[in-house]
Structures are given as structure tokens and as C-alpha cells.
Amino acid sequence: MPMSLPAKKAPAGGAGVRRWVFTIVVSVVALVLTLVVISLSVGSSLHRTSLQDYLPVGVTGLGKLSSSERADGNTNGTVIGEEPLQGGREPLVEQNGQGGDLNSGQPSPLTGKIESKEPDPVASGDTTSTPDEDSSNESQKAEQGTCDLYHGEWVLDSSGPLYTNNSCPIITQMQNCQGNGRPDKEYENWRWKPEQCILPRFDARKFLELMRGKTLAFVGDSVARNQMESLVCLLWQVDVPQNRGNKRMHKWLFKSTSTTIARVWSSWLVHRSTEAVGIAPKGIDKVFLDVPDETFMEFLPRFDVIVLSSGHWFAKRSAYVLNGNVVGGQLWWPRQAGKMQMNNVDAFGVSVETCLTAVATNPNFTGLAIVRTWSPDHYEGGAWNTGGSCTGKVKPLDEVVRNGFTDAMYGKQVEGFRKAVKNAGQHGSRLKLMDITEPFAFRADGHPGPYRSPDPNKKTQRGPDGKPPPQDCLHWCMPGPVDTWNEMLLETIRREFERDRS
């Protein structure tokens, strides 16, 4: 006969009932506590991507450095002045007598708004995940290199820049906006937020470790110099470099990792001469659209990463040579020569294709070539030399008004890039596009404007006749929006290096 457990009997009497009730209550409480402990232990073991792995050491909040790591230091008046081009000075902007409808100034709104704070995924109707989960997903996308860095919005970041005009001694005077008396500072505090991921705050130590023993070179005009100085300033906060440059190449060596940051001046990225060619007389700049600039091509094998940017010099008076023939010009063309075959916009596109094809197919270059797209200017009411102004701009634009010339030059640059990738065949993977044009079209507030010098008597407001003071609405204040280019640069290099290792 099978055995059975004896049934429990309720204790007789009032005391027995109380003991029975007490036992039941204690059992229920113990069961609840057990379930809570199990739930917490399971929850804590779930995988979660940590943003701390991608932010600088000492981070106390999203992109916020602890007080011991803030970029402050002693004032140093050492600056590098504007660099002339073989005896001449560069124009401030590209819009210089373009002609036609490219420089008509007719606005066409770009859909897109600037928000002053991070979007709330719950408030926007996305109830499938929590804000923490979204942040984790965004971080994963950035780490995996699947996020589009170039579509998003500018958000206000109270943590401020990673350096100041006093903590970096190489800022060119014309870009030292605070040193030149600019009264507002909010333009320093906006950060770029891609739509679907986080663009990590620049980490100087991570950059130097990533580029250990390597050389990164910027090749282009004064806007390329602007980006180079921004990068050196960011790195300066963790390792003071040694100046190893000369007239042909500016170089900064960061000894902690033997990393070199270089810059080579190349205003057109293709060959330039002042000697007479065909109908173009001696003295005028001849731009050989199908011959890469031998100056930087000579140095190319020394570089592990090269950042190429150009275009603004195609506004200067010049003649264009293709296959040995003069085919067009800018602000110059003999009337008796008939119709030009090529204007400055088309010439720019050809020069981009020539330069990038030569870089990608060079047998002695095995590095990474990054093309930084057209840097938009924000002159209103005219060009740099015809009364254009960005005076009074202190916040990012709510809507972008497109500029016909900027759109045309950007389009030709991207077209030239794509042709070069095709021309290079299997080596086309060496070329990468850093597409900053759309994000920076919003940043009319980021230029020096009238704050181009420390002269206390300089004019910074419009005169009684409404005429604006002389100003720079092309280059970028430092610190300022230009620092974001180097956040994008670091992310681009990281992705490519990790892809190569995988």
C-alpha cells in the first residue's frame, strides 16, 4: 500500500489559530522577498553596452570632463599668421564674381529644424524601448560603424569645449574669436547629434593611441589649416607636441605615441603655374586640371591618413588647362577666344577626380584618404568683398537657406569623388567621404565675423549707412564648430582601422 503524507491539522484553540495565521504571513513575505532578489540578480546580469568605454577618462556625465581635466592653461600669445600663396593672399570666400544664377542668392529652404535639447523617444511616440535602451542601441551603432554621422541636429551641450583660446597657443589670430573680443560664447557649446547614434566626444588619448607611430596629414587651403589647428589643439590638452615643421610642411610630433600631425599647402590640389600657356599670358594662375599637385604627391608615401579638402580658390582669377589646352577661366577670359569650354564649377569637379584618382592609385600609398566636403560660408547680402555679412549670428540657424554656388560646388565634389572611386578599381576603398556640408550649413554662428583681430578700435557693428564691417564668414572660430570635424574624423579612422583588423 503506497505511503501518503499525514494531513496537517489546524491547532485547536485561539493560540493555535494565531500561530497558524502567523506562519502563513511569514511564508508569503519570504516568498515575495525571494522573488524580488531573483528578479534583481537576473536584471543585473543582462548585457548592456557601456558608453564609458568610448568616452574620455574622468567622464562624470555625457561628454563632461571632471574639473581636473578641463582645458585651461596659461595665456600664450604665440600664433601662426595667415599663410600666403606664393606671394599672394587667399580670398576669404568663394563667391567672387561667379556670374549666372549660381551666385544669384535666391533662397530655397532646406527642411530641417534645430532643437535645443535631445529628442525624447518616449514623447515622440516610440513606446517600444526606454531611453536607456535607445542610448545603448545608439552606442552599439556607433561602435559597429553602421550609423550615418552626417544627418542629425545640433543640441546644446553645457559641458563646453575641450580647450580654450588660452590653452592652445597655435590658434591663428583671425580664428581666435574670444581673444579678439567676441562677446558671446554659446557658439562653443553646440554638439552634433546624428539621428540614430551618438557621435562620441573627442578623446585625445584614444586618437593618439589609434594613430600610434603614424602620420596624419591635412592637404588643402586655409580651411584645411583651420581643421589641422583644431586637431592639434584638441591633442595638446593631453600631450604638448614638438614643432618639427618647415616651410614645405608643417609638422607636430606627439612623442607619447610618436604620432605626427602634418599640413601641406595645396590650394587647388592640382598643378599650378604662372608661366604662359596658349592664350593665357604669364602672371595669371594656370590650373592644370589633369595634373595632380606634385608638392603633396611627393610626400604621399609618408602618410598613413590624408585629409583632402579644397575648392574655395576656384573663385580666384585663374585660367584652366586640360590636355595642354586653355579651356576656361575664372574672372579672366579673352573676348576674342569665344565661348569658354569650362567654368570654375566644372573645373573644380575635374580637379577633384584627378587628385583623388592619383592618390588612390599611387603604388607607394597604402593608407586612408578622407575627403572633407565643401565647407559652407554664411555671407548674407553680398560676397566677402561686396558687403556680405554674418554679423550678429549667435545660434545655429533654425532653417538653412541654400546657396546656389555652394550646392553646385558640393555636387561637383561628390561627383568627382565617385568617379575617382570607380577609376581606382580595387583601390577605391582607400577613399572615404566625410560629408560635413549639410550639418555645417546650419552654423552661421560659428564664424569669426567682424572679430578677426584684437584691435580694440575695430568696427563690429553696421555703420550709420547700414554698411557692415569687414568680416570673415568662411573660416571657423576656435574653439567652435570646426572641432566637430575632428570628432567625425576620429570616428571615421576608428571604423576603418577596426574594419582592416577584422
Gap between the Cα atoms of 442 and 445, Å rounded: 8
- Grid cell 491547532 is found at 11
Q: How far is CA 408 from the centre of its chain?
A: 21
> Quick check: 11 and 20 in contact, CB under 8 A?
yes
> How many Cα atoms are found within 13 Å in the side-chain-facing hemisphere of 275?
5
Contact 267, 314 (CB under 8 A): no
Helix (H) or strand (E) holding 308: strand 305-308
The answer to whether residue 447 is catalytic is: no
Asked if 188 and 130 count as a contact pair (C-beta separation under 8 A), the reply is no
Q: What is the DSSP string of 234-278?
A: HHHTTS--EE---SS-EEEEETTTTEEEEEEE-SSSEEEE-S-BT
C-alpha cell at 72: 585651461
Give me 137's grid cell: 542601441
Beta partners for residue 15, in sequence order: none
Q: Where are the alpha helices (DSSP H) in 312-443?
A: 344-361, 404-424, 437-441
- What is the torsional sign of CA 50, 55, 57, 63? negative
Q: Can 472 be counted among the known catalytic residues?
A: yes
Active-site choice (222, 267, 309, 375): 222
Q: Which of 336, 306, 429, 330 is nearest to 102 (CA)?
A: 330
Report residue 448 as a C-alpha cell.
569669426
The answer to whether 390 and 326 have CB atoms below 8 angstroms apart is no
Return the percent helix, strand and coil in the chain, to nearest 5. Answer: 35, 15, 50
Annotation marks residue 44 as catalytic: no
Q: Kindly write down the DSSP assignment for every residue of 48-69, as one continuous string.
A: ---GGGGS-TTEEETTEE-GGG
CA distance 347 to 340: 11
**Residue located via cell numbers 560646388:** 409
Dihedral sign of CA atoms 183, 185, 188, 190 in order? negative
Q: Which of 157, 346, 472, 483 is catalytic?
A: 472
- Sheet strand arrangement including 318-322: 270-273, 285-292, 318-322, 325-330
Number of H helices, E strands in the chain: 9, 17
Q: Provide the 10 A C-beta neighbour count for residue 134.
A: 17
Considering 310, 447, 475, 483, which one is annotated as catalytic? 475
The one-letter amino acid code at 471 reads Q
Supply the residues annotated as catalytic.
Answer: 222, 472, 475
